Chains A and B, each alone.
Chain A
């Protein structure tokens, strides 16, 4: 394949990945950063970084985990540079009300707000497990933690959500 053809193929493959994975990356970044603008910027910057090191991705089947790791790092960098101005959760809920709204389903809207209010340490593994379908072992690898610690966080995340939804939280591990 000539240079132009190789470049075209590379772009095509990267474009396909971006298109298929961008919604998940945006959701992940939004649930972690709780800010649409931040999520968009972080994902955009992450895709730029990913493009620059695309050749280092040996298995495109692992692209989602690879990109999520880049998004996590990019979010951390963003937080280092500038702490979000809004730290009051009620203000964050109000600011993100358009995304939090679940027209026609009060239960989903209530749950969405409850997850939004969860501490990040519980929110992140829950998003990875329930939304993105990762196993606790994979979450542990992504977050750089022991699997047992992930299980504890997931248990506590659900216990808090049960409490917020008016159910008994269950035994503490």
Chain B
């Protein structure tokens, strides 16, 4: 049988300790039982206190601060996940330039994404879109790649859609808002980032003659959810 001192040491470290010796002492010592109850009540408050939301800034527009520059670095670094280096020089541009380069950087360094030609099963597509509450209606073309990728510090749906003009990469960027469409043209890629009901959507392809038309078709095929 443990004494009061040992009991209080034990429950001071683990208030929910339900060991047989702790329980036995608790039954025979009302003062210690009260002490443990106090600690348990305090742990409930500790748990509520620890459950902070440290990420509200993540959904806010990027500020022109050193922190924002740092995040842009990591956003580009995220594109390295796919396996290639993008110059640090890319990091210092204005936000509009930055998003264009980040999108192309991500597309450029995605080995395998453009290789697939077989249409994906609807379940695989849904798995990539459902966390964002979105769906893609038929009409834009077969989806041959769907994944959730790290982009700009967020996990975003990344699709490859086989349009009549060729395959395009689609990135659904709920966290990035735009006031107006942004055209991209770099390294042989043509693309557009469009303001969307939730954030924005980037549509990028190689050698696409009418990227605006393709982008419009893709955009209109997306159900952004409620």
What is the minimal beta-carbon distance from B152 to any residue of chain A, in angstroms?
A: 9
What is the minimal beta-carbon distance from A20 to any residue of chain B, in angstroms?
A: 10
Per-residue interface assignment for chain B, residues 34 to 49, with 1 indicating a CB less than 8 Å from any chain A CB and 0 otherwise = 0100110011011111
Distance between Cα atoms of A127 and B50 in the complex (Å): 7
Enumerate chain B residues within 8 angstroms of A131, measured Cβ to Cβ.
47, 50-51
Contacts A7-B112, A8-B112, A44-B74; A155 near B9 (Cβ below 8 A)? yes
CB <8 Å contact, B12 and A159:
yes
Q: Which of B14, B45, B52, B147 contacts A99 (CB 8 A)?
A: B52
Q: Which of A4, A11, A152, A173 contacts B115 (CB 8 A)?
A: A4
Query: How many residues of chain A are within 8 Å of chain B by beta carbon?
Result: 62
CB <8 Å contact, A15 and B147:
yes
Distance between Cα atoms of A8 and B113 in the complex (Å): 8
Within residues 160 to 199 of chain B, which ones have a CB less than 8 A from any CB in chain A?
Answer: none
Please report whether the interface of chain B is mostly helix, strand, loop or mixed according to DSSP.
helix
A interface residues (Cβ-Cβ under 8 A, vs B):
2-5, 7-8, 11-12, 15-16, 18-19, 22-23, 26-27, 29-31, 36-37, 39-41, 44-45, 47-48, 51-52, 98-100, 102, 105, 107-109, 111-112, 114-115, 126-127, 129-131, 136, 150-152, 154-155, 158-159, 161-162, 165, 167, 170-171, 173
Tally of contacts, chain A with chain B, CB under 8 A? 159
What is the minimal beta-carbon distance from B102 to any residue of chain A, in angstroms?
A: 14
Contacts A19-B155, A40-B55; A108 near B49 (Cβ below 8 A)? yes
B interface residues (Cβ-Cβ under 8 A, vs A):
5, 8-9, 12-15, 35, 38-39, 42-43, 45-58, 67, 70-71, 74, 77-78, 80-81, 111-113, 115-116, 124, 127-128, 131, 145-150, 153, 155
